[in-house]
Amino acid sequence: MYKSIKNLHPSTLWNHFADLNAVPRASKKEDKVIQFALDFGNSLGLETIKDHVGNVIIRKPATAGMEDRKPIVMQSHLDMVHQKNGDTNFNFDTQGIDMYIDGDWVKARGTTLGADNGIGVATIMAILASTDIAHPALEALFTIDEETGMTGAIGLQGGQLHGEILLNLDTEEDDEIDIGCAGGLDVTAVRNYETETVGNNEYLGLQINVKGLKGGHSGVEIHLGRGNANKILNRLLYGQEVYKLRLCSFEGGSLRNAIPRESTALVAVPLNTKEEFLASIHQRINDIKKEYFTIEPNLLIEIDDTETPTSFITNADQKQIINAIYAAHNGVFRMSPDIADLVEASNNVAKVVIKDGQAKILCLTRSSVESSKLDVAQSLKSLFELADFEVTFSGDYPGWTPNVNSPILKVLTELYEKMHGTKASVVACHAGLECGILGRNYPDMDMISYGPTIKGAHSPDERVNIASVEKFWDFTLEILKNIPLKE
């Protein structure tokens, strides 16, 4: 299955990526990939350890002539986002990713690819396994659970690492060097609701499906204005009590860090208002499609007859829940006043589940400024509490404050310009990187992040540019040669 992928250049990197992608590695289900990393390090005869939370650290001595350079940490995360199209038959728990080459890109059939952060992991593996790549003493740090809580980075204790410089290989544009990122906070709103029974012969059951959206990374791509399936579906339901619409269930989205692509609701309308309701909702569908046509040309909204539900949410609870979802902020909350084109704060209404007497709404709030992150979260909390939800905050992690005077930044910017004849963009990103968390226990470690060009991360459209991987690989080898001398 991976033969054509393994023939790409640099073959050592692509071979390790193919091996990694044969291993199921969902966040919080990393037992197999942790063992994979342990077996890899031990097979090389290198010092290999697993810490108390599951991070894997592999140490390799400096190559000849590089012993006087500062020791480094090369870091990537083992887990990947598991997303698939609704019509894709695939079991992430048992199957390896089905990769293929499409022109200049490597993609996966109907699922996420795992280039985020598998290309970084594979790069580090290739360097650990090499016998002819010059490098200083290095520690490979493979963290767990980056995508759903960063608990690996949070759990890494001080004193475990000895490196003075950290190279994080987890950004997604090959002409960017990242020196800062946003922090994040999970906002969860839960409430119970009452149901009532209405005679089935009076109502028509309908299933409304929203699909075909691009989705994507809820940090990196939140500013693009892509459709959120939960918000679109809820918009269709809002105000439909005029036609006596009754909501039975609502399910949409999956992971907090993925913009929801698909959402579905089971509803019913009285037979005597059916035609008026369908005329109204089709008008809304047309309006929404026109609004999103440029950004979401494949947006599909379907309404199908289905078996009439036996019970519905009471009118009072239904109105409160729908109103709360409608009012919940989704998208960019504030742009940075200090860094051009940087999203400072945002929120993703990531997952909505309304069924079996309970409504649950999961959001991910991000910001590069701690106070505005809390401001967004508290505004959501206030809103949901007005609708009788109980709101909890969890998974809080800090941002990474940019250091424009970083010594390793100077090394990378000069090397990039020398190699490519143009300057790299020095940026901060709205995604969550582990550098800020790691810096709490390693405050003196000089950190930088870079990577190849990856598009569509956290969605089945994820793809990695082949030429960019080679560019990234060559850049990495030059960085290793040019690590500063020990002081």
Q: Is the pLDDT of residue 158 over 80?
A: yes
**Rounded mean pLDDT, 172-191:** 96
Half-sphere exposure (CA, 13 Å, Cβ side) for 69?
Answer: 22
Distance from C-alpha of 328 to C-alpha of 309, rounded to nearest angstrom: 28
Mean pLDDT for the stretch of residues 77-101 = 93
Mean pLDDT confidence for 455-474: 96
Query: Looking at per-residue confidence, does 487 or 56 come out higher?
Result: 56
Q: Vertex 318, ends 312 and 322: CA angle to 5°?
A: 135
Q: Give the highest mean pLDDT range of 239-243, 268-272, 324-328, 393-397.
A: 324-328
Distance CA 147, CA 49 (A): 22
Q: Which residues pair with 270 in a beta bridge?
A: 203
pLDDT tops 80 at residue 206: yes
C-alpha 209/C-alpha 265 separation (Å) is 7
CATH class of 3-182+401-481: alpha beta
HSE, CB side, 13 Å, CA atoms: give it for residue 317: 20
Neighbours of 419 (CB within 10 A): 13
Q: Is 204 left (phi over 0), alpha (psi -120 to 50) or beta?
A: beta
pLDDT of residue 86: 82
Residue 2 pLDDT more than 70?
A: no
Q: What is the Cα 170 distance to its own chain's centre?
A: 12
- What does the pLDDT read at residue 108? 97
Task: Map residue 472 onto helix, strand or coil.
Answer: helix
Q: Please work out, in degrees rounded to the nearest 5, the angle formed at the alpha carbon of residue 21 by the alpha carbons of 185 and 84.
A: 60
Which residues are catalytically annotated?
79, 146
Rounded Cα–Cα distance for residues 75 and 156 (Å): 12
Among 363, 371, 367, 326, which residue's Cα sits nearest to residue 346?
367
**Measured in whole angstroms, how far is the alpha carbon of residue 32 from the centre of its chain?**
21
Pair 123, 480: CB distance under 8 Å: no
pLDDT classification of 339: cutoffs 50, 70, 90: confident
pLDDT in tens, 297-338: 999 999 999 998 889 999 999 999 999 999 999 999 999 998
Of the pLDDT bands very low, low, confident and very high (cuts 50, 70, 90), residue 197 is confident
Q: Is the pLDDT score of 130 beyond 60?
A: yes
Say how far apart CA 12 and CA 125 lie, in whole Å: 9
For the chain, the straight-line distance linking the first and the last C-alpha, in angstroms and rounded, comes to: 48
Instruction: State the sign of the Cα–Cα–Cα–Cα dihedral 170, 173, 174, 175.
Output: negative
- Give Cα 330 to chain centroid, integer Å: 16
| CB contact burial 227-237 (16+ within 10 A = b; e otherwise) | bbbbbbbbbbb
Tell me which residue of 457, 37, 472 sits closest to 259, measured CA to CA: 457
d(CA 467, CA 218): 26
Q: How far apart, in whole angstroms, are the C-alpha atoms of residue 235 and residue 285?
A: 10
Q: What is the pLDDT of residue 200?
A: 61
Given this structure, which CATH class describes domain 185-397?
alpha beta
Give residue-wise pLDDT tens across range 403-438. 989 999 999 999 999 999 999 999 999 988 999 999
Using DSSP, state whether 186 is helix, strand or coil: strand
Q: Tell me if the bond preceding 117 is cis, omega within 30° of 0.
A: yes
Contact at 8 Å (CB) between 89 and 180? no
State how far Cα 263 lies from the chain centre: 18
- Hey, what are 74's tokens? 């090369």
321 or 459: which leads in pLDDT: 321
Average pLDDT, the chain: 95
Chain segment 276-302, per-residue pLDDT in tens: 999 999 999 999 999 999 999 999 999
Cα gap 236→225, rounded to integer Å: 18
Angle at 352 between CA 351 and CA 354, to 5 degrees: 155
What is the pLDDT, as a whole number, of residue 201? 73
Contact 417, 424 (CB under 8 A): yes
Three-class SS state of 487: coil
What pLDDT was estimated at residue 262? 96
Q: Give the Å distances, CA to CA, from 327 to 129, 130, 320.
A: 53, 54, 11
Residue 1: band (very low, low, confident or very high) from pLDDT cuts 50, 70, 90: low
Indicate the domain borders of the chain. 3-182+401-481, 185-397
For the segment 13-61, what is each residue's pLDDT rounded down to a tens digit? 999 999 999 999 999 999 999 999 999 999 999 999 999 999 999 999 9
As a whole number, mean pLDDT of residues 198-206 equals 82
Cα–Cα distance between 171 and 426 in angstroms, integer? Answer: 12
pLDDT in the model for residue 322: 98
Percentage of the chain modeled with pLDDT above 70: 99
Residue with tokens 């063992």: 35
Region of 7 (left: φ > 0; alpha: ψ -120 to 50; beta: rest) is alpha
| DSSP-H helix ranges across 91-190 | 115-129, 151-155
**Rounded Cα–Cα distance for residues 429 and 392 (Å):** 26
